[in-house]
Amino acid sequence: MTAIAKALPEATISIAQGLKLSEPEGKPISAEYEIQSGMLLLSVYTIKENQFSEVLINAKSGSLEQVEPLTDADALKDAQDQSAAMAKAKVPLRYTRIDALPQLFNVLRGEMSIIDSDAYSPSFLN
């Protein structure tokens, strides 16, 4: 069993919570748990004003441990590739409106009405 697998049950911060905690530092791109200096951390890549950063969050306490700009060429390339892949994936999701499926399930459960408040932009209609 890997060190991360052994330490993960002690984590009190989920990836979703970590993404939310990292938002003040920029838009989250990706996240993963890692161990540094014996501590279980959640590493989140963020982008803000075309600057990529890595936000390290203590997975046990939820405290922000470190925010550092990505300067390492490999890490920066990985972040740029992930950002480009996310942008590319959004196009078919938005075009097919499959991103609205969770809302449809809420309508079927009676938690939402069927009125659509999502306005289409003129460029989307063309």
Answer whether 64's CB lies under 8 Å from 17's CB: no
pLDDT > 60? residue 125 = no
The CATH number linked to 49 is 3.10.450.40
| 3-class secondary-structure state, position 121 | coil
pLDDT > 60? residue 109 = yes
% of the chain at pLDDT higher than 70 = 89
Domains of the chain: total: 1
Distance CA 13, CA 8 (A): 10
Q: What is the pLDDT of residues 1-58, one digit of tens each?
A: 688 888 888 889 888 899 899 999 998 888 889 898 888 999 998 888 888 888 999 9
| Mean of the per-residue pLDDT values of the chain | 81
pTM, 2 dp:
0.62
State the residue range of the domain holding 82. Answer: 3-125
Mean pLDDT, residues 77-86 taken together: 79
